[in-house]
Amino acid sequence: MKWWKVLLLCLATLLLALALLVWSAPARWVAPWLNARMHGVALRGVSGSVWDGHAEALVAADGTDLGRLRWTLSHRALLGRPQGSVELAGSMLDAQGGFVREGDTLRWHDVRLRLALDHLIPPPATPFGRPRGELRGQLAHATLRGGWPVSMDGDLRWQDAAVDGADGLLPLGNLAATITARAGVIQVSLQDEGQGPLRLDGHLQASPLGWRLQAELAPRGDHPALARWLARFGPPDAQGVIHLQRGAGLGAVPASNGVSR
């Protein structure tokens, strides 16, 4: 056999071996590479393959175990079109969804999220108290370009909402948000579910140029502690309703409407 035929045969064999190696590459081989690029979190106990893998723990920078992680990745990633799904299962956080990346565009679909605020360590602190309860959300789809949602449809529920502050634990009831995005403008409709201690009716609009929030808040029934807490957002009118208006950037409410920026 001529030398150039031997060379071509060796090259073809090498390429085939590399393709088979990549096709069945163990996930543990790429775990160090992923950990170096996953800012703030790291994989522990990695098993399976690059295309269908598991991690016993997704660990935050402070050592918090966020839960078990599983992922699938289509072999189309070899052609520059990553596509797959991720699923995180933990006592504090559950999340799952499918994704497709095309250039600088990332598309998510069938996303589900559950966050137990009571299990967060350290518990989140805000000027208005520590939020309690559970967040549950879903996104039918979300298209992000450069990290910003240009198209999205979903909703978020804050179940057994409460804040833990100077007046103790203040129940707020069940609160809901409907989220949409079109052409890079995010619209969020905020409501309570009609029977809890807090009456809420509001709207949030956001874009890369600015944001605007308008809402009406009031206690439902006789709740002096809740009324005192709500007064932190502004003075109530004669009916006890607080008209909240905030904004920044080009999306801000005009200053004549009494908005603090």
The pLDDT score that the predictor gives to residue 200 is 97
The pLDDT score that the predictor gives to residue 109 is 96
pLDDT at 12 exceeding the cut of 70: no
Residue 18: what residue type?
A: L
Maximum Cα–Cα distance across the chain? 98
Q: For residue 260, which of 252, 23, 101 has the smallest C-alpha distance?
A: 252
The whole-angstrom separation of Cα 107 and Cα 100 is: 5
pLDDT at 14 exceeding the cut of 50: no
The pLDDT score that the predictor gives to residue 159 is 96
**Mind listing the pLDDT tens digit for each residue in 176-229?**
999 999 999 999 999 999 889 999 999 999 999 999 999 999 999 889 999 999
The pLDDT score that the predictor gives to residue 62 is 80
| Six token digits for residue 33 | 């590479």
pLDDT at 239 exceeding the cut of 80: yes
Which of 1-15, 46-60, 73-87 is the least confident region? Answer: 1-15
- Residue 113: pLDDT band by 50, 70, 90 thresholds? very high
Which of 65-74, 121-130, 143-152 is the least confident region? Answer: 121-130
pLDDT at 33 exceeding the cut of 80: no
pLDDT at 35 exceeding the cut of 80: no
Query: Which is more confidently placed, 40 or 212?
Result: 212
The pLDDT score that the predictor gives to residue 31 is 76
Measured in whole angstroms, the distance separating CA 68 from the mean position of its chain's CA atoms is 17
Q: For residue 188, which of 180, 200, 176, 196 has the smallest C-alpha distance?
A: 180
- Core vs surface per residue 125-161: b (16+ CB within 10 A) or e: eeeebbbbbebbbbbeebbbeeeebbebebbbbbeeb
Q: What's the distance, Cα to Cα, between the start and end of the chain in Å?
A: 80
The pLDDT score that the predictor gives to residue 18 is 44
- Residue 243: pLDDT band by 50, 70, 90 thresholds? very high
Q: For residue 156, which of 172, 129, 179 has the smallest C-alpha distance?
A: 179
The pLDDT score that the predictor gives to residue 254 is 54
Mean pLDDT of the chain: 84
The pLDDT score that the predictor gives to residue 63 is 83
* pLDDT > 70 in the chain, percent: 85
The pLDDT score that the predictor gives to residue 251 is 58
